[in-house]
């Protein structure tokens, strides 16, 4: 069976949607059809187009009319150890409400925010400019600009077994025939970053054993290495330190909280955001390597956001 292409051209998307190519351009600007411009041509990630199709044509309109329960705080999006600690801290400090988190990846968090089923989306999606995060993806998915609050900067890389027995010193080494990895789901920023690094390394994902074996959390990736199910996995540095693994750093990334303007001033949301300024929370974060809280709790704007 032939492998499906990861990226579609404008003509291929038009054929998939059974529309004229000119309609595709209007769907990009008016309906948020996921696309990126590379060397003057539009490219469409197949999996994002299929998700867009599910949302806009099969399931529901762009804007949901869901009412979130009073006394509940719902977060959805990217898995993160410090975010979980922040939520635990919130639940200990708040007697009026309780917080819940859905680990559905950065794109899943944005989709949940668009549908109105969460207050906060946690995202770290690297843009095509290889510098900024999240803004372009939000522009494509949401009709109204949300509020961006930085949660942290964190170090992304490759988890490897202690002592590096397979001599994995670069992303290129993941394609070695004796190396097996576990990966993160397509909807995650970690997977997006790995795919970007693979493209720079001039290797193919088809060359990497285990590339399509996915685990839901960064911690699960580390546990797969500890149990010798895999030799390497993309994940954040705090997991390496927590589990006693080696770590090949790739880059520091910006990890943001994206909040609907309609819900930003709700009491539960404000209490959670205020935790980021709490000295007790910052002290808690000091125990986890691989985080930088220099901009934590600060509102970001697309034109001058820190990287």
Pairing between β-strand 7-8 and β-strand 41-45 as defined by DSSP bridges: antiparallel
pLDDT of 31: 63
Q: Does domain 7-59 have CATH number 1.10.1660.10?
A: yes
How remote is the C-alpha of 130 from its chain's centroid? 15
For the chain, what are the domain ranges?
Answer: 7-59, 72-302
pTM confidence score? 0.76
The average confidence (pLDDT) of the chain is: 88
pLDDT of 66: 54
Question: Please, what's the b/e burial string for 65-93 (b: 16 or more CB within 10 A of its CB; e: otherwise)?
Answer: eeeeeeeebbbbbbbbbbbebbbebbeee
State the average pLDDT over residues 208-233: 97
How would residue 95 be classed by pLDDT, with cut points 50, 70 and 90? confident
Domains 7-59 and 72-302 share a fold: no
Phi, psi for 223 (deg, rounded to 5): -65, -35
Percent of the chain with pLDDT over 70: 89
Q: Tell me the chain's radius of gyration from C-alpha atoms.
A: 20
How would residue 67 be classed by pLDDT, with cut points 50, 70 and 90? low
Which CATH fold topology does 72-302 show? Answer: D-Maltodextrin-Binding Protein; domain 2 (3.40.190)
Greater confidence (76 vs 70) lies with 76
Choose among 133, 156, 112: nearest CA to 100.
112
Q: Which of 60-74, 190-204, 260-274 has the lowest mean pLDDT?
A: 60-74
Residue 36 has pLDDT above 60, yes or no: yes
């Amino acid at each position: 069976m032939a492998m499906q292409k990861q990226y579609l051209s404008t003509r291929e998307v038009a054929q998939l949607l059974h529309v004229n190519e000119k309609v595709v351009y209007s769907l990009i600007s008016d309906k948020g059809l996921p696309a990126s411009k590379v060397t003057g041509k539009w490219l469409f990630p197949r999996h994002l187009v299929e998700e867009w199709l599910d949302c806009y044509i099969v399931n529901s309109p762009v804007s949901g009319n869901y009412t979130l329960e009073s006394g509940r705080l719902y977060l959805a999006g990217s898995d993160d150890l410090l975010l979980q600690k922040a939520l635990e801290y919130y639940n200990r400090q708040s007697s009026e409400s309780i917080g819940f988190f859905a680990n559905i990846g950065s794109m899943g968090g944005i989709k949940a925010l668009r549908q109105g089923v969460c207050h906060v989306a946690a995202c770290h999606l690297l843009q095509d400019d290889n510098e900024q995060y999240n803004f372009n993806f939000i522009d494509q998915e949401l009709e109204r600009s949300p509020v961006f609050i930085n949660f942290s900067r964190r170090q992304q890389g490759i988890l490897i077994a202690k002592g590096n027995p397979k001599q994995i010193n670069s992303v290129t080494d993941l394609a070695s025939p004796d190396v097996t990895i576990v990966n993160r789901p397509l909807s995650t920023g970690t997977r997006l970053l790995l795919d970007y690094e693979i493209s720079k390394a001039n290797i193919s994902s088809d060359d990497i054993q285990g590339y399509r074996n996915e685990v839901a959390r960064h911690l699960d990736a580390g546990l797969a290495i500890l149990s010798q199910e895999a030799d390497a996995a993309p994940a954040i540095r705090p997991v390496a330190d927590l589990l006693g693994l080696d770590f090949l750093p790739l880059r520091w990334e910006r990890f943001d909280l994206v909040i609907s303007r309609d819900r930003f001033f709700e009491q539960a949301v404000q209490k959670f955001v205020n935790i980021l300024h709490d000295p007790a929370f910052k002290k808690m974060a000091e125990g986890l390597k691989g985080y930088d809280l220099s901009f934590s709790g600060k509102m970001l704007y697309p034109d001058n956001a820190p990287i």
